[in-house]
Chains A and B, each alone.
Chain A
Amino acid sequence: MAASEGGSGGLTEYIRHHLTHLTVNEGHGRFWAIHLDSVIFDISLALLFVFVFIAVARRATSGVPGKLQAAVELVVIAVDGIVKETFHGKSRLIAPLAITIFFLVFLMNFMDLIPVDALPALANQFGVGHLRVVATADINTTIGMSLCVFLLIQYVGIKEKGLGVFLGEFLSAPFHAHGAIGKILLAPPNLLLRIIEEAVRPLSLSLRLFGNMYAGELIFVLIAGLTLDASVSHFSTYGWGLVEVAADALWTGFHILIITLQAFIFSMLTVVYLSMAAERH
């Protein structure tokens, strides 16, 4: 491979460099290390989404819409339709939540399509050593989002069903019994299953999104590493360059599908979990 002149140390170093977050230590130990790049990209993309949508909503006309308004309306109507057929109750929270989650996750995933070295090289001009631009390829981001969804599930459950019924369901679902003795006997397995189910949901949500984005980013870095020690004079550069362009095109095509799909699945699963929490009667 073209990287063999520098030894595999060159490629490994390149990969390690691109997988390192810009970290700030707020205290002792690794728990208090904040990944500054994920936080910055997460918040800026969220602000971008909010401001664009507010601007479109303020200037919305019932006459002939502009292109941006038409695009936003398209997505809002589509998500609203899907939420209506999944969630059978009445809630003013769920459809906007689904739209927000979909767009936020999609915007953060979209940063993966920017060339691997582009933003880190730009940041290097300002003295920033490491930069990872894909916020959802950081397990902290995805776990943060799924913990918020988890708390929302409990909140919606308590609000729609009342605290007594909500807590009672921990002991009486999914196995139902009619006599008093049956209820007492079935309470421990019900509780166990319920706890496992509630714990697995945020875990699977976060790991699914993180795994897809991390794998996508890693493969982009590997493809970029194909021409690591390239020089314009050596003939092998052009061969490997062509291979790299082809591999990049294929993987980007596939990855565009993946980022949309994963954003859609995150928001759809949130809607499904919330509707299950609100109506599990």
Chain B
Amino acid sequence: MDHVPQIAQLLSMTVIAAGLLIGLGALGTAIGFALLGGKFLESSARQPELTNMLQTKMFIVAGLLDAVPIIGVAIALLLLFANPLLQYIK
């Protein structure tokens, strides 16, 4: 191992990057889902007969909300466990 300082710096930056990826993604998703669920419960309480239709649409929007943070999590996990950036040093 002859590039220890470079590897150390790369790995520390990678870990920070992974943390930001997962953390900020989780933040956005949490706020989004909270708003979505709150509105759904509110409208369901106002008009209970529409609950089924609203639930379908809620799941559609939930799937849309889910997408980008999960891509971030996938990239973060890739960086943590099988870092492709290490090839430039080793």
Provide the bound-state CA to CA distance between A11 and B80, in Å.
11
Q: Which residues of B contact A11 (CB under 8 A)?
A: 81
* Residue from A82, A212, A261 within 8 A of B62 (CB atoms): A261
* Contact A212 B81, beta carbon cutoff 8 Å: no
* Contact B59 A264, beta carbon cutoff 8 Å: yes
* Residue from B60, B67, B81, B82 within 8 A of A204 (CB atoms): B67
Nearest B residue (CB) for A272: B60
Provide the bound-state CA to CA distance between A204 and B63, in Å.
12
Q: Which residues of B contact A218 (CB under 8 A)?
A: 74, 77-78
Provide the bound-state CA to CA distance between A265 and B77, in Å.
24
Nearest A residue (CB) for B59: A261
Tell me, rounded to whole Å, the shortest Cβ–Cβ distance linking A267 to chain B. 11
Provide the bound-state CA to CA distance between A258 and B69, in Å.
14
1/0 per position for A240-281, CB-CB distance to B under 8 A? 000000000000000000100110110010000000000000
Main secondary structure of the interface of B (DSSP, over half): helix
Q: Give how many B residues have a beta carbon under 8 Å from the other chain's beta carbons.
A: 17
For the complex of A and B, list the 6 residue pairs with the smallest distance between their C-beta atoms, beginning with the closest: A211-B71, A208-B67, A215-B74, A265-B63, A261-B63, A15-B82
* Contact A264 B60, beta carbon cutoff 8 Å: yes
CB of B35 within 8 Å of the partner chain? no
Q: Which residues of B contact A210 (CB under 8 A)?
A: 71
* Contact A215 B60, beta carbon cutoff 8 Å: no
* Contact B63 A219, beta carbon cutoff 8 Å: no
Nearest B residue (CB) for A82: B56
* Contact B60 A265, beta carbon cutoff 8 Å: yes
Provide the bound-state CA to CA distance between A10 and B67, in Å.
31
* Contact B78 A264, beta carbon cutoff 8 Å: no
Q: A265-B60, A268-B60 are in contact. Are A211 and B81 (CB under 8 A)?
A: no
CB of A45 within 8 Å of the partner chain? no
* Residue from A12, A16, A212, A264 within 8 A of B67 (CB atoms): A212
CB of A102 within 8 Å of the partner chain? no
Main secondary structure of the interface of A (DSSP, over half): helix
Q: Give how many A residues have a beta carbon under 8 Å from the other chain's beta carbons.
A: 23
Chain A residues 143-192 with CB under 8 Å of chain B are none
Q: A261-B59, A264-B59 are in contact. Are A207 and B81 (CB under 8 A)?
A: no
CB of B54 within 8 Å of the partner chain? no
Provide the bound-state CA to CA distance between A268 and B58, in Å.
13
CB of B41 within 8 Å of the partner chain? no
Provide the bound-state CA to CA distance between A262 and B67, in Å.
9
Provide the bound-state CA to CA distance between A210 and B77, in Å.
15
Q: Which residues of B contact A264 (CB under 8 A)?
A: 59-60, 63
Q: A215-B74, A264-B60 are in contact. Are A19 and B67 (CB under 8 A)?
A: no
CB of B7 within 8 Å of the partner chain? no
A-B residue pairs in contact (CB < 8 Å), sample of 16? A82-B56, A208-B63, A210-B71, A211-B71, A211-B74, A212-B70, A215-B70, A215-B71, A215-B77, A218-B78, A219-B77, A261-B62, A261-B63, A264-B59, A264-B63, A268-B60
Provide the bound-state CA to CA distance between A11 and B74, in Å.
17
* Contact A19 B82, beta carbon cutoff 8 Å: yes
